[in-house]
Amino acid sequence: MSPRGLLKVTKGIEKTLGRERSAKWGPRTIDLDILIFDDIALDEPHLRLPHPEIKNRAFVLTPLAEIAGELRHQSGKTIKEMLQMSDDKKMVKIYKK
């Protein structure tokens, strides 16, 4: 599947689950983002890869570092390195059973 094909699928899932687009960054039922797609870089109106806000969001980097910490971002840094360098100091709690 291509990045654009995956975007179409994710938007379909959001619609099925009742997502309504009313305000940018407003509350929503569900929000699916494509963070990284292989080593593809895209800058299109509706699809930017890698996701431009990864580095600013500990709530994205923390679980991603847990499952794919050695994955390399287009910047050359690993996800773990990006998490360590992140300025986002909001608490992210990992629950384990």
H-type helices in 17-93, by residue range?
58-68, 79-85
Catalytic residue among 4, 21, 33, 43: 33
Active site residue 31: yes
- Residue 38 a catalytic site member: no
Catalytic residue among 4, 28, 72, 88: 28
Yes or no: say if 51 and 36 are a contact pair by the CB < 8 Å rule. Answer: yes
> How far is 49 from 52, CA to CA, in rounded Å?
7
Selected catalytic residue, list 19, 39, 72, 87: 19
Q: Select which of 4, 21, 31, 43 is catalytic.
A: 31
- For the annotated catalytic residues, the residue numbers are 19, 28, 31, 33
